[in-house]
Structure 1
Amino acid sequence: MIHKEKLKEQYEKELQLFEKSHPKSKELYERAKGSLLQGVPMNWMVKWAGSYPVCVASAKGAHFQDVDGNDYIDFCLGDTGSMVGHAPEASVKAITEYVKQGTTFMLPTEDAIWCGEELSRRFGMKYWQFSTSATDANRFALRLARQVTKKPMIIAYNWCYHGTVDETVAIMDENGNTVAKPGNLGPQVDPGKTTRIIEWNDIPALEEALKKGDVAAVLAEPVMTNCGIVHPEPGYHDALRELTRKYGAVLIIDETHTICTGVGGYTKAYNLQPDIVVVGKTIASGIPCAAYGFSQELGDRVAEAIPYELCDIGGIGGTLAANALSMHAMKATLSEVLTEDFYARNIPLATKFNEGVQSVINEFDLPWNTTQLGCRTEYWFRKEPAKNGGEAEAAVDFELDQYMHLASLNRGILMTPFHNMALITAVTTEEDIDKHTAVFREIVQNIL
Structure 2
Amino acid sequence: MHASDTGATIGGIAAARIAELRETEAAAFRKARPKSEAKLGNGIAGFLGGVPMHWMSDWPTPFPILVDGARGATISDIDGNRLDDFCLGDTGSMLGHSPAPVARAIRRQSARGLTYMLPSEDALAIGPLLRQSFGLPFWQIATTATDANRFALRVARAVTSREKILVFNGCYHGSVDETMVRLIDGRAVNRPGLAGEFRDLTRATKIVEFNDVAALEAALADRDVACVITEPVLTNSCMVLPEPGFHEALRRLTRAAGTLLLIDETHTISTGPGGYSGKYGLEPDLFVLGKPVAGGVPASIWGMTEEVATRYGAYSRTKEPGYSGMGTTLSANPLQFAAMRATLEEVMTEAAYAHMDRLARRLDAGLSAVIDRYHLPWHVARAGARVEFVCAPGPLRNGGEAEKAHAPELEAAIHVALVNRGVLIAPFHNMMLISPATTAAQVSRLVAAFAAVAARLTA
| Structure 1 equivalent of residue 20 of structure 2 | 9
- Cα deviation for residue 308 of structure 1 reads 8.7
Query: Contact 2:238/2:406 (CA < 8 Å) preserved in 1?
Result: no
Query: Contact 2:289/2:302 (CA < 8 Å) preserved in 1?
Result: yes
1:119 aligns with 2:130: yes
| In 2: Cα distance, 1:31 partner to 1:3 partner | 32
| Structure 2 equivalent of residue 105 of structure 1 | 116
- Cα deviation for residue 34 of structure 1 reads 2.5
- Cα deviation for residue 309 of structure 1 reads 9.2
| In 2: Cα distance, 1:307 partner to 1:32 partner | 52
For the structure 1 residues 311 and 125, does the alpha-carbon distance in structure 2 shift closer, same or farther, using more than 3 Å as the test?
farther
**SS of corresponding position for 2:57:** helix
**SS of corresponding position for 2:392:** coil
One-letter amino acid of the counterpart of residue 349, structure 2: T
**SS of corresponding position for 1:219:** strand
| In 2: Cα distance, 1:383 partner to 1:30 partner | 37
**SS of corresponding position for 1:101:** coil
| Structure 1 equivalent of residue 445 of structure 2 | 435
**SS of corresponding position for 1:347:** helix
After superposition, residues 30-69 of structure 1 pair within 5 angstroms as: 30=41, 32-69=43-80
1:257 aligns with 2:274: no
| In 1: Cα distance, 2:234 partner to 2:243 partner | 12
After superposition, residues 312-391 of structure 1 pair within 5 angstroms as: 313-391=323-401
Query: Contact 1:84/1:338 (CA < 8 Å) preserved in 2?
Result: yes
After superposition, residues 117-266 of structure 1 pair within 5 angstroms as: 117-174=128-185, 176-266=186-276
Deviations 1:260-308 (A, max 9, x none): 1111001111111110010111010110000001000001111222259
1:405 aligns with 2:405: no
| In 2: Cα distance, 1:191 partner to 1:98 partner | 42
| In 2: Cα distance, 1:438 partner to 1:276 partner | 42
Query: Contact 1:61/1:428 (CA < 8 Å) preserved in 2?
Result: yes
| In 2: Cα distance, 1:404 partner to 1:303 partner | 52
Q: Which runs of 5+ in 2 are unaligned?
A: 1-11
- Cα deviation for residue 128 of structure 1 reads 0.3
| Count of residues in Structure 1 that have an aligned counterpart in Structure 2 | 447
Q: Which of 310, 335, 350 pairs up with 1:300?
A: 310
1:267 aligns with 2:277: yes
Deviations 1:191-225 (A, max 9, x none): 11121111000001101111111111000001111
Query: Contact 2:67/2:76 (CA < 8 Å) preserved in 1?
Result: yes
Q: Cα RMSD between the aligned structures?
A: 1.4
One-letter amino acid of the counterpart of residue 390, structure 2: W
Query: Contact 2:165/2:228 (CA < 8 Å) preserved in 1?
Result: yes
Give the TM-score, by structure 1 length.
0.97
Give the TM-score, by structure 2 length.
0.95
Q: Which of 395, 401, 404 pairs up with 1:394?
A: 404
- Cα deviation for residue 312 of structure 1 reads 6.2
- Cα deviation for residue 120 of structure 1 reads 1.1
| Structure 1 equivalent of residue 4 of structure 2 | none
One-letter amino acid of the counterpart of residue 19, structure 1: R
| In 2: Cα distance, 1:80 partner to 1:380 partner | 18
| Structure 1 equivalent of residue 35 of structure 2 | 24
| In 2: Cα distance, 1:188 partner to 1:302 partner | 31
Q: Which of 72, 88, 93 pairs up with 2:99?
A: 88
Percent of matched pairs sharing the same residue:
45
Q: Which runs of 5+ in 1 are unaligned?
A: none
- Range moving further from structure 2, 267-276 or 183-192: 183-192
Query: Contact 1:177/1:192 (CA < 8 Å) preserved in 2?
Result: no
- Cα deviation for residue 118 of structure 1 reads 1.1
